[in-house]
Amino acid sequence: MLKQRIITALILLPIALCGFFLLEGSGFALFIGLVVTLGAWEWARLAGFEAQPARIVFAVLVALLLFGLHLFPDLAPWVLGAAVLWWATATFLVLTFPQSAVHWSSIATKLVIGLLILLPAWQGLVLIKAMPLGNWLIMAVMVLVWGADIGAYFSGRKFGKRKLAPKVSPGKSWEGVFGGLLLSLLITAVVGVVRGWSASQMFAALVGAAVIVLISVVGDLTESMFKRQAGIKDSSNLLPGHGGVLDRIDSLTAAIPVFAVLLWMAAS
């Protein structure tokens, strides 16, 4: 399994890096759109569609909606606003699972939720890419999420006692969350010192980083909640040794649109 994970990572990493940082404009939007469309195909299974034709239809629908968003960029504020409302709601649903399942157990509801997760993730990345220093901003949100994952893994293994959401993901602990948050804040502080941020800039950056890390945890738990309700371990086997596309980007689907909103707020 480890060898398989390493081989897959070595193949995917350069593709991902080239797609994220070398492509621009419509090429970048198309690249991210392909990833999101694969995620939609996986989400259809989480929603309850086992037959391939139904899953493909949902993926095509998502691709068409992404194309529509590309043609009508003025819809971006509405898409990101819907994402903020969704992730606030998702926090409540995760914390109250399995009782909350009564509110979203129908296939139709889960398909709508899939749109609220996937479309804003694409929209957020496209908007961030178009900003000044877009590549660095994309790297920033990824480093925050990866730092949180790494910190949570090691602190959870070492100190984890209090379960975060045992009915959703039994392996996660509050100690892991705090460890991941601490590492991401430390990374942010180091960057701020190197770049010479003022005290107010440093404070805003640390608050923003904390928000991103915490919402990324919700993104991770949300996919785990839907997988648990569906009775499956991985969203698919598209990535040998890594599960599916959604398993790799679940935290980012929450972090990216919220990060885009925070950047908008900071620029206004």
Q: Given this model, what pLDDT does residue 2 score?
A: 43
Q: Given this model, what pLDDT does residue 158 score?
A: 84
Q: Given this model, what pLDDT does residue 109 score?
A: 96
Domain segments of the chain: what residues?
A: 2-267
| Contact criterion met (CB below 8 Å) for 188 and 160 | no
Q: What is the mean pLDDT of each run of 10 residues along the chain (268 residues)?
A: 57 76 91 95 93 95 97 96 96 93 93 97 96 92 92 87 89 93 96 94 95 96 92 76 79 96 87
pLDDT digits (tens, 9 = 90+) for 6-46: 666 667 777 877 787 888 999 999 999 999 999 999 999 99
pLDDT digits (tens, 9 = 90+) for 81-108: 999 999 999 999 999 999 999 999 999 9
* CA-to-CA dists, residue 22 to 18, 19, 25, angstroms: 5, 6, 10
b/e sequence 90-120, b meaning 16+ C-beta within 10 Å: bbebbeebeebeeebeeeeebbebbbbbbbb
